[in-house]
């Protein structure tokens, strides 16, 4: 496996190892530098290999906080198998507080399986895909709404037409163990280049989660992420003795294709007529689009295309054509 990425961490070695994954990078101000991506491997004999990642998007903070806590507190004797922690998967984006990397403007969650000799974002994706995900028995990817989204705290399971029934059931068990109020089945509008989409395609039981919103980080959102992550890790067996608190029974929902999303029809100011958690109907008024530079024109109504629950919505009122305004979910039966 050819790659320029290197690390002092030996992913096959027992013990606790903490250090950077280093991606060579030669920008204008540094001839022979690297981009460091913090990581840890805590391995103790035979058992499941569990990978937990945060900051795939750099403006989502609950995951990095909780994973860093696990990195500090988990000892080798606590582990059965191997726990691999990636607290700042997209380190350049996290340092900048941005969804995408400031180096190459790429979204790490839209480039898998990556490219060893592509852009920096593509290179780190490929290294993790081949050197870390290739070992995984379970994967947890911790997200939040970031600067652009208000969203209900929830677990996500990737759904594909080719998914084996056993994998769907394993993912459902992970969601039940995660124990938050909502689980969302999603195909991401058919784009499986996410880290979770990649691992699911490889047959690895996978759960993603949206555990914060608005680019905030609060004691409540961190605690909810901490509790759910601990339940996940205990369920997989990698941290059999970790202290947990009971979760709640999850409500299974689905983002049912492109019509579940509401997009801005043109540049302007969106006056929303809904709030998070509302029950909405197909054809119901969602809000008014006020033209940006044509004040003499009347605002244009925007309508929901599907009935369901208002699961997420954009944070800002000043929007561009095609920007996501809202997402509606529908209740479904558990797999």
Interacting residues of 110 by C-beta distance below 8 A, sequence separation 6+: 191, 193, 194
pLDDT in tens, 189-220: 888 899 999 999 999 999 999 999 999 999 99
For the chain, which residues make up each domain, given as ranges? Answer: 6-254, 258-331
User: Of 1.10.3720.10, 3.40.630.30, 3.40.50.300, 3.40.630.10, which CATH number belongs to 6-254?
Assistant: 3.40.630.10
Residues of the chain with pLDDT under 70: 1
Residue 2, both tokens = 């050819």
Residue 254, both tokens = 């689905």
Could you please state the CATH topology (level 3) that the domain comprising 258-331 is classified under.
Answer: OB fold (Dihydrolipoamide Acetyltransferase, E2P) (2.40.50)
Q: How far apart are CA 1 and CA 322, in angstroms?
A: 39
pLDDT in tens, 218-257: 999 999 999 999 999 999 999 999 999 999 999 999 999 8
Q: How far apart are CA 282 and CA 192, in angstroms?
A: 28
């Amino acid at each position: 496996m050819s790659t320029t990425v290197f690390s002092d961490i030996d992913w096959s070695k027992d013990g606790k190892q903490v250090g950077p994954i280093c991606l060579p990078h030669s920008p204008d101000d540094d001839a022979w530098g690297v981009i460091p991506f913090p990581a840890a491997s805590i391995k103790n004999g035979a058992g499941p290999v569990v990978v937990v990642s945060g900051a795939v998007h750099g403006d989502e903070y609950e995951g990095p906080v909780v994973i860093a806590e696990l990195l500090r507190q988990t000892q080798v004797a606590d582990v059965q198998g191997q726990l691999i922690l990636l607290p700042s998967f997209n380190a350049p984006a996290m340092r900048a507080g941005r969804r995408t990397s400031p180096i190459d403007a790429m979204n790490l969650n839209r480039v898998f399986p990556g490219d060893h000799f592509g852009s920096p974002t593509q290179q780190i994706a490929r290294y993790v895909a081949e050197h870390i995900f290739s070992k995984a028995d379970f994967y947890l990817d911790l997200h939040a709404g970031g600067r652009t989204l208000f969203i209900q705290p929830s677990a996500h399971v990737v759904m594909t037409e080719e998914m084996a029934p056993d994998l769907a059931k394993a993912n459902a068990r992970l969601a039940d163990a995660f124990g938050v109020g909502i689980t969302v089945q999603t195909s991401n509008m058919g784009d499986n280049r996410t880290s979770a989409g990649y691992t699911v395609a490889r047959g690895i039981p996978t759960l993603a989660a949206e555990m914060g919103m608005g680019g905030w980080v609060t004691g409540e959102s961190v605690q909810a992420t901490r509790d759910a992550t601990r339940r996940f890790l205990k369920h997989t067996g990698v941290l059999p003795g970790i202290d947990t608190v009971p979760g709640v029974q999850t409500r299974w929902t689905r983002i049912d294709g492109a019509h579940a999303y509401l997009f801005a029809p043109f540049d302007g100011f969106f006056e929303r007529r809904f709030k998070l958690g509302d029950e909405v109907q197909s054809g119901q008024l969602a809000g008014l689009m006020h033209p940006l530079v044509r004040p003499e024109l009347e605002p244009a109504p925007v309508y929901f295309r599907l009935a369901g629950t208002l699961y997420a919505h954009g944070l800002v009122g000043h929007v561009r054509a095609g920007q996501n305004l809202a997402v509606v979910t529908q209740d479904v039966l558990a797999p």
